[in-house]
């Protein structure tokens, strides 16, 4: 009825209530909106703690996020990066990317720290090295279409974009589920797998 999308409405709320340049407060404001106003498929605070723990343990210098959506996960990742690290995030929907860009910059992250790339992941991944300067990713966070998880993991492998000992963190592999991705990760012999139990966001 308003002519604006849920994502845009959420951003307007964040813009009105969050402290600019304070990533933690921006995430909290998003959470308030999602709990009390409208549901968004953001990572949310519960699964967010898992992401924060992995960042703390791994201290990755090059991070790739597949599925920017509104920028919630991007801000979550960016605030946990060690000094000098860089985050590349890919979003296929230009409307979501437009919202995410504003959220990321509102949180205080420059293009030197966070680069938002708009386009389908299967088209962007093969050109990450020559077009965007990503030599190898230390951590990959998958939170886009579940059916794309396996295809994109194999693309990252075939283009040698995974650093030795890289961590792949994939959301919602049990529900809605990414069974082919999970089967491959468990049986291909390249990865040690751990499933983190969590509730659905909000």
Catalytic positions are 143, 146, 171-172, 201
CA end-to-end span of the chain: 24
Please state, in angstroms and as integers, the Cα–Cα distance from residue 183 to each residue in 15, 22, 53, 191, following that order.
41, 39, 25, 11
SS3 category, 20: coil
**Residue position matching structure tokens 């409208």:** 38
Kindly give the residue spans of alpha helices, DSSP state H, lying in the chain: 6-17, 23-36, 44-58, 72-79, 94-106, 121-124, 128-132, 149-158, 179-187
Q: Is residue 166 a contact partner of residue 136, using CB atoms and an 8 Å limit?
A: yes
Q: What is the rounded distance in angstroms from the CA atom of residue 192 to the CA atom of residue 17?
A: 42
**C-alpha gyration radius of the chain:** 16
């Amino acid at each position: 009825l308003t002519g604006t999308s849920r994502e845009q409405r959420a951003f307007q709320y964040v813009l009105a209530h969050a402290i600019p340049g304070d990533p933690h407060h921006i995430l909290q404001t998003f959470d308030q909106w999602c709990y009390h106003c409208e549901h968004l498929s953001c990572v949310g605070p519960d699964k967010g703690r898992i992401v924060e723990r992995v960042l703390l343990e791994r201290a990755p210098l090059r991070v790739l996020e597949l599925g920017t959506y509104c920028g919630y996960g991007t801000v979550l990742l960016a605030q946990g990066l060690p000094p000098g690290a860089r985050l590349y995030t890919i979003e296929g929907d230009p409307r979501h990317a437009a919202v995410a860009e504003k959220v990321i910059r509102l949180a205080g992250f420059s293009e030197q720290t966070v680069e938002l790339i708009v386009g389908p992941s299967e088209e962007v991944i093969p050109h990450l090295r020559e077009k965007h300067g990503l030599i190898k990713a230390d951590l990959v966070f998958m939170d886009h279409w579940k059916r794309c998880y396996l295809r994109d993991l194999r693309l990252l492998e075939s283009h040698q974009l995974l650093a030795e000992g890289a961590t792949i963190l994939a959301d919602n592999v049990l529900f809605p589920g990414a069974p082919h991705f999970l089967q491959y990760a468990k049986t291909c012999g390249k990865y040690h797998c751990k499933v983190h139990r969590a509730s659905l966001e909000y």
